[in-house]
Chain A
Amino acid sequence: MIEPAPAVTSGSEREIYRDYERRRRLQLARILLPIFALVQGAVFVVSVVFVFEVHYGSPIAQIFIFNTALVGVDALLHALGLRFVRQGRVGPATIFVILPIGLTVIVPLLVYIAFGQSGNSPIVAITLGEMVATLVLIVLSGVMATSRWVVLATTLLMNVYTVFILSNMLQLASTGVALRSQRLLLLSFPPLVQWAVAGILFAASGTYLATLRELGDVRVAYARAQQLDQLKDQFIAHVNHELRSPVMALQGHIELLLLAEQTLTPEERHTYLQRAKRAGDGLVALVTSVLAVRRIEQEAGALELSAVAVRDVLESAIQLLDPREANHVERELRVNLPEGLEVWAEPVRVRQILTNLLSNALKYSPPGTSVDVSAELVAAALPSGMKRWGREAAAPRPMVEISVRDYGLGIPPDQIPLLFNRFVRLPRDLASSVPGNGLGLYLCQAFAKAMGGSIRIESTGVEGEGTIFHLRLPAPPPTPHAPSTIKRLTPRLATARSGTTQRPNGQ
């Protein structure tokens, strides 16, 4: 049995984007974490050498040892972050990329400023080094963040931090005094460089995200194409199966007639011919509905709309029902129609829709249960998709709703939207012997839309509560003294038709 294809919904599209973004950041973290661990490790080694060889015993050595230890811890934190990458946890992995870098950039200088303002040269070196390191944070915010506005926020923060530590450096006894005359340059250049980097990232991450979205679209389109492909496979397998039985019945009875002609009684010959004809009819019906699908997709079909009495069209639809679909069992049909109710539609199409809905109701409900048909005039709003403003902003069009209800198994609510797709049958029907080619409802919906109406399914999926199919069609325009109404109607129908052509699967 072929598995039903999963539906590509707008919800799953969003999921695809999110998944894409998640994997991108995870991949970045996977590459960046070991690199940062190594860089921090190198900084740690340089700091240790510095403490032991150059400044051992100097007054600021103790603070410097604290900072060296901090860098070491940060290197370890980066290494630890790889654990989260392996677990696929994007949030913690991102934090373990950014947080240690932030700590390395910001904490050491604040510690110096708080405890060690003794005018020594390491502060100047560290300050200059960290000017550069702030750029790393800005770049990181550009590549790791999900929104590019984070880059701007980070840059502002780094501006404040940079100006703060630089003005602090200017307060130092030795270097500070020497630099004080160049204060303007010292305080303005680094933030400007930061903004240049931020600008590059802002632009790059914008185009980057746009590319990502396009790639996401491609993936969605691919998933859709795959789904369609699966539906086609399913259909081919199904039609193949559906064709083999009638072909065998048709061919077999004819062969039997040829082989056993002499021994057959006239009655037997007649029976075989009739069975062969019935099998042929079944084949024609299958081929016709497959062809109808092609036709309705290629041309909207010039519909000749007229006022159609619901009672008449229902009666002719009942005439067309195949008694075999009810397993030759007498079924109760409860009809509740207001006298004189009419729809504005093409009689043949309405009959086709009703025959299909009634035959479904019979096929998918147990013998002994009734099928109910009712109809009423509803004051519906304009069909969705048609603009509420503009020339036709007049009163909402009255609609007629014809409902066909059975008391069968019902349809699981999550599977209802799938039913209007081509070649789709419920998984349980594919496994059953109920014949069908998965085209009936698709055609009904297409016909209804072409006439300015729609079909809606209501079901709880609870056995015995059954299913209600609501067919909505426009009521006839108020004739005879308002010919303008008819004129006004035409462009609307044209809109409805073109809508159908463009989006055959749209509901």
Chain B
Amino acid sequence: MTPSGSGYTVLVVDDSEELRALVADSLRKLGHFSVVTARDGAEGLELFFQVHPDCVVIDVKMPGLDGYQLIRALRGDPASRATPLVILSAMVQEKDKLAGLLSGVDEYLLKPVGPLELVQTISRVLGRSEEERQQRLLSLLDDQPNKAEE
């Protein structure tokens, strides 16, 4: 059963046109989310403050303002500090994963990620309370680097 994301808006920031389209369509078709997309960090930041999405999916490697810089910018602003963020990355090394989690994201997804997994992850992240999210972030960091998958 696919979870329903109706009522939620997700911002997808990715420089690859194909992946942006895939992520957006997966979220729309399988999760019934509203989706807005941006091509790079700067555009993503601008869009965030226009649409105030409920969750942001961020690619790491982007020209200009990259994924981590965008995350820092979002985490640094009181208006966006509490918004769940999900990294979508092709960097496989442990240190990349650690860097992702340290930057304060809620989930670190490693490409390739299937549409269903993507929708489920975002639904899960959206369903967490603020307290749960804090707890989870701490436990994830405790488990590094042995167990970053879950």
**Chain A residues with a Cβ under 8 A of chain B:** 237, 240-241, 244-249, 251-253, 255-256, 259-260, 263-264, 268, 272, 275, 278-279, 324, 432-433
Contacts and interface: CB of A to CB of B under 8 A. Distances in A.
Nearest to B60: A241
B92 A252 contact: no
B65 to A, nearest CB: 12
Contacts of A240: 90, 92
Given A244-B111, A252-B112, 18 more contacts: A237-B92, A237-B93, A240-B90, A240-B92, A244-B90, A244-B112, A247-B112, A248-B19, A251-B114, A252-B22, A255-B114, A259-B29, A259-B115, A260-B29, A272-B25, A275-B22, A279-B18, A433-B61
Given A256-B25, A263-B29, A241 B115 contact: no
A249 B22 contact: yes
Interface in B21-47: 21-22, 25-26, 29-30
Contacts of A256: 22, 25-26, 29-30, 115
20 contacts: A241-B92, A244-B90, A244-B110, A244-B111, A245-B18, A247-B112, A248-B19, A248-B112, A252-B22, A252-B115, A255-B114, A255-B115, A255-B116, A256-B22, A256-B25, A256-B30, A259-B2, A264-B29, A275-B18, A324-B17
Interface residues of B, number: 26
B63 interface: yes
Contacts of B91: 241
B107 interface: no
A302 to B, nearest CB: 38
A259 B112 contact: no
Contacts of A432: 63
Given A241-B90, A433-B62, A278 B112 contact: no
A253 to B, nearest CB: 6
B16 interface: yes
Contacts of A279: 18
Interface string B2-25: 100000000000011111011001
A245 B114 contact: no
A251 B112 contact: yes
Given A241-B91, A264-B29, A275 B112 contact: no
B102 interface: no
A252 B114 contact: yes
A230 to B, nearest CB: 15
A249 B63 contact: no
A82 B142 CA distance: 51
A151 to B, nearest CB: 55
Contacts of B111: 244-245, 247-248
Tell me which of A240, A249, A278, A324 has the highest count of chain B C-beta atoms within 10 A of its own C-beta.
A249
Interface string B115-131: 11000000000000000
